[in-house]
Structure 1
Amino acid sequence: MSNFEIDNLLKSVFDDKSKDIDLKQLFEDKLLEYDITKTKAFNILSIDKDVFEDIISGSAKQPSIINVLKIAQFLEVELNDIVNAVLKNQSKENIAALEKAKKVSFIVKNFDIKKLGKIGFFYDTDNVDILIERVLNFFGFDSINEYETEISKPLFSSSRRNFSDKMKDFWIISAHQCFKSINNPNNFNREQLKELIVKIKPYCQDVENGLLTVCKALYSIGVTVIIQHQLVNTQVRGGTFVVNGKPCIVLTDLNKRYPTIWTTLIHELHHVLFDLEIIEKTNFHLTGEPDLFLIEEKADDFSMEYFFGVDKFNFIKSHITNKFIVEKFAKESEVHISFVYSAFRYYQDKFYKKNYYGSFNEFFPNSSLAIAKINPLNWKENNLKDVALKIKEIFELNTL
């Protein structure tokens, strides 16, 4: 039985307008209809008289589901109806216990309490009511049923969902709700995006303001970009969503590498240009995760070639230890110097299986400087609506 069905049952228990069934009267009517005695009925059902009376009267503290099913069959009533009738006669303590079980099931099924506690989303508590309140406040819902109806079911309806990967699901839902609350008012224009993409590259040279400037420009043509901090045990670099009918991109600070944020942005914009119809059908696409519908290599090659492609790598690889030449070549290529070293690492690994990822770190700027002004979403925020409003204000202030 789903949480939705339990919600309805619990609601009907306290709803004076719900259908009441007099189980005792139904039983008496069936005895007359079948022309049998109570004793005969108990024997047929293989239920002790006192057990039967306790279930019918509602005094049974934990009635056996098998016995309830037997009685439902004998009385020819729907299972939900007899469960509802039994629940109406249950004590407040038993009803509260059922409600708590539903809450516990919801939390443990959907959220990794331990890991979310480590990042500050959950506080150090075992109180399920506090955990539920935190979740509902953060996502902006009034009930578990509303959460499942508005988010979980529709968002994952077209996607294969692994319930063991709760942190990734949390990341996805957070991004989706943030985009939904921002609700970019600008119409998406694919032709304007094609014109804008060719102008983006030089802005990567401005560590503190370049990304913000580009995100504002994208927002003005209907593409919303947000930043979410990486979650424990997730390897997602970014993602492309379609929310309110418009493309939305979420970037993360995976590995804290400045060039990676930019190459991921261009990677996602490639998906917006060429794969938007597919993504709209599946609700979202994650970069760094296997995808049955999209060819990730195309987007990867596009983003790498965009900033510093194979031809440039072939020229600079023999001069990589000469800082003067690298700086000059980076300037000519209109990229930050870290992109040259990042491309060198990438292509050395791709073509020669050589690992240079520990080299040249001194030339990589702090990635937090690039994302700070976009108000990246962390997991200690009170609620997503406030975060979304802040981001919206940033993008709509002096938008290009």
Structure 2
Amino acid sequence: MKNLDVERLLQDIFKDDSVFDVKERFEEKIAEYGISKTRALKLLNVDKDVFEEILDGSAKQPNLIHVVKVAEFLDVDVHEFIRMVLRNQNPENIASIDRARKLKFLMKNFDVKALTKRGFFDGGDEVEELVEKVLAYFGYDSIAEYESQLVEPLYSRSKRPFSDKMKDFWVRSAYQTFRLIDNPNPFDRNRLKDTIVKIKPYSQDVNNGLYIVSRALYNAGVTVIFQDYLDTTHVRGATFNIKDKPCIVITDYLKRYPTLWFTLLHELHHVLFDYETVVSNNFHLSDHQDLFLIEEKANSFARDYFLPVDGFHYIKNYINNPYMVERFAKDNEIHPSLVYSFYSWYQKELYGKNFFGAFKESYPTCKSAVSRLNPISWNEESIKVASEKIKAVFELK
């Protein structure tokens, strides 16, 4: 007997294709072998009533050994025979099998506990409701459609920790959003370079700066969206290649306004200088441990863009003087919170001192900075609805 492929079996049970008539096949075989039905069942050591229950689906818990023995006697593929037997089960048994299939789908692909805590799932939902939520969110009609439309898996390991599942969910949400937005503007690298040069002053406008910059990037063929941070992913941003166009995701990781701008410039560096790597992998998650050198170059680019080390050495002597920080920030065309943020980073990097909690009151909220761009959250609408809202923002005349 071939090895029993349970995965294939569960997938095949619910196919619509027809199956053979077992009773007819059994009659053919006993005629071919020249034995009676009673003799055949005796040799198989299968009780007549058990045999009938297997065929008509009345057996509440069909004995797998008996099912396999009959399949071998009929000389049919054991998967095909088991599928037929299962499809003949009563509605209650079929429903329990379907529920097991859906449960496997959820456990394999999602960290249900974390997504429930985040508000994506309702804690009181049953398995069927959880699956419906996933399919509705991504815009698919069935599990089969969901699985056939996925981008390349983020991780190749068969046993993935929950954090990997959350990253997969985050990546697939972003991918589907970009696919639905479908930026019509061709990617223009020269226009992107011209846009980057002009970005810095917009960091001073907390409520509209990111909105204005993101619209300008959209017109250059670069789509930027914001997704709420998902616990355990530790991803602040990512760059995708969708239909040969760069797409960037930024999160509110660490909940710091300066981090939004730093991440944006970090990802734009990947678009300018690492795009071949992004294209070959479909996407790139920033802070990826295996790409340390690429990440460091992007980090240095973003830091030098807003506050190079010379600026730090100047302002460190006046960091406790709000007036001097304000004037310094204005002269350098950046928001004062970026001065405090990069000051803290340089202190840690150069002197091993921790100032990251010293100036929190000077940081605007991320929410006000991204609100006009309709950031993707995890407890409200489907990706289709969210994508339509984002696209309307970008294409507003």
Q: TM-score, normalised by structure 1?
A: 0.89
* Contiguous gaps of at least 5 residues in structure 2: none
1:159 Cα offset (Å): 5.8
State the partner residue of 1:94: 93
Counterpart of 2:198 in 1: which secondary structure? helix
1:157 Cα offset (Å): 6.7
- The answer on whether the counterparts of 2:50 and 2:59 sit within 8 Å (CA) in structure 1 is yes
Task: Output the CA distance in 2 between the equivalents of 1:210 and 1:222.
Answer: 19
- The answer on whether the counterparts of 1:159 and 1:282 sit within 8 Å (CA) in structure 2 is no
Counterpart of 1:351 in 2: which secondary structure? helix
Return 87-96 or 332-341, whichever deviates more.
87-96
Task: Output the CA distance in 2 between the equivalents of 1:307 and 1:293.
Answer: 21
* Aligned CA-pair RMSD: 2.4
Counterpart of 1:11 in 2: which secondary structure? coil
State the partner residue of 2:10: 6
State the partner residue of 1:155: 152
Return 269-278 or 209-218, whichever deviates more.
269-278
Q: Verify: 1:190 aligned to 2:189, yes or no.
A: yes
Task: Output the CA distance in 1 between the equivalents of 2:340 and 2:192.
Answer: 28
CA distances 1:23-50 after superposition (whole Å, capped 9, x unpaired): 2332333334444555664565454454
Q: How does 1:67-78 map to 2 (within 5 A)?
A: 67-78=66-77
1:254 Cα offset (Å): 1.1
Return 18-27 or 195-204, whichever deviates more.
18-27
Counterpart of 2:234 in 1: which secondary structure? coil
State the partner residue of 1:333: 332
- The answer on whether the counterparts of 2:241 and 2:278 sit within 8 Å (CA) in structure 1 is yes
Return 323-332 or 347-356, whichever deviates more.
323-332
Return 214-223 or 303-312, whichever deviates more.
303-312
Counterpart of 1:59 in 2: which secondary structure? coil
Report the identity percentage: 51
Return 325-334 or 230-239, whichever deviates more.
325-334
Return 362-371 or 246-255, whichever deviates more.
362-371
- The answer on whether the counterparts of 2:153 and 2:168 sit within 8 Å (CA) in structure 1 is no
- The answer on whether the counterparts of 1:109 and 1:163 sit within 8 Å (CA) in structure 2 is no
- The answer on whether the counterparts of 1:27 and 1:75 sit within 8 Å (CA) in structure 2 is yes
State the partner residue of 1:118: 117
Return 265-274 or 362-371, whichever deviates more.
362-371
The one-letter code of the counterpart of 2:200 is: K
Q: Verify: 1:129 aligned to 2:133, yes or no.
A: no
Q: 2:162 aligns with which of 161, 164, 168?
A: 164
- The answer on whether the counterparts of 1:178 and 1:388 sit within 8 Å (CA) in structure 2 is yes
Task: Output the CA distance in 1 between the equivalents of 2:244 and 2:295.
Answer: 23
Task: Output the CA distance in 1 between the equivalents of 2:361 and 2:22.
Answer: 78
The one-letter code of the counterpart of 2:153 is: F
The one-letter code of the counterpart of 2:152 is: L
Counterpart of 1:340 in 2: which secondary structure? helix
- The answer on whether the counterparts of 2:223 and 2:248 sit within 8 Å (CA) in structure 1 is yes
State the partner residue of 1:250: 249
State the partner residue of 1:393: 392
Residue 293 to residue 281, structure 1, CA distance change in 2 (3 Å): farther
Return 288-297 or 223-232, whichever deviates more.
288-297
- The answer on whether the counterparts of 1:239 and 1:286 sit within 8 Å (CA) in structure 2 is yes
* Contiguous gaps of at least 5 residues in structure 1: 13-17
The one-letter code of the counterpart of 1:372 is: S
Task: Output the CA distance in 2 between the equivalents of 1:4 and 1:381.
Answer: 35
CA distances 1:125-150 after superposition (whole Å, capped 9, x unpaired): 23222222222221111111111111
Residue 293 to residue 87, structure 1, CA distance change in 2 (3 Å): farther
State the partner residue of 2:174: 175
Task: Output the CA distance in 2 between the equivalents of 1:149 and 1:121.
Answer: 23
Task: Output the CA distance in 2 between the equivalents of 1:286 and 1:345.
Answer: 24
Q: Verify: 1:261 aligned to 2:265, yes or no.
A: no
Return 288-297 or 232-241, whichever deviates more.
288-297
Residue 40 to residue 349, structure 1, CA distance change in 2 (3 Å): farther
Task: Output the CA distance in 2 between the equivalents of 1:257 and 1:294.
Answer: 25
- The answer on whether the counterparts of 1:275 and 1:294 sit within 8 Å (CA) in structure 2 is no
Task: Output the CA distance in 2 between the equivalents of 1:293 and 1:94.
Answer: 52
Return 43-52 or 284-293, whichever deviates more.
43-52
Task: Output the CA distance in 2 between the equivalents of 1:189 and 1:138.
Answer: 32
Task: Output the CA distance in 2 between the equivalents of 1:76 and 1:211.
Answer: 67
- The answer on whether the counterparts of 1:278 and 1:293 sit within 8 Å (CA) in structure 2 is no
1:6 Cα offset (Å): 3.0
Task: Output the CA distance in 2 between the equivalents of 1:108 and 1:300.
Answer: 36
State the partner residue of 2:367: 368
The one-letter code of the counterpart of 2:15 is: K
Q: Verify: 1:239 aligned to 2:238, yes or no.
A: yes
Task: Output the CA distance in 2 between the equivalents of 1:179 and 1:365.
Answer: 28
Counterpart of 1:227 in 2: which secondary structure? strand
1:3 Cα offset (Å): 6.5
Return 301-310 or 122-131, whichever deviates more.
122-131
- The answer on whether the counterparts of 1:256 and 1:367 sit within 8 Å (CA) in structure 2 is yes
Counterpart of 1:319 in 2: which secondary structure? coil
Counterpart of 1:295 in 2: which secondary structure? helix
Counterpart of 1:155 in 2: which secondary structure? coil
Task: Output the CA distance in 2 between the equivalents of 1:321 and 1:131.
Answer: 51
- The answer on whether the counterparts of 2:288 and 2:295 sit within 8 Å (CA) in structure 1 is no
Return 292-301 or 157-166, whichever deviates more.
157-166
Residue 66 to residue 290, structure 1, CA distance change in 2 (3 Å): farther
CA distances 1:328-379 after superposition (whole Å, capped 9, x unpaired): 2222221111111111111111122211111122322222221111111112
The one-letter code of the counterpart of 2:198 is: K
State the partner residue of 1:304: 303
- The answer on whether the counterparts of 1:257 and 1:364 sit within 8 Å (CA) in structure 2 is yes
1:209 Cα offset (Å): 1.0
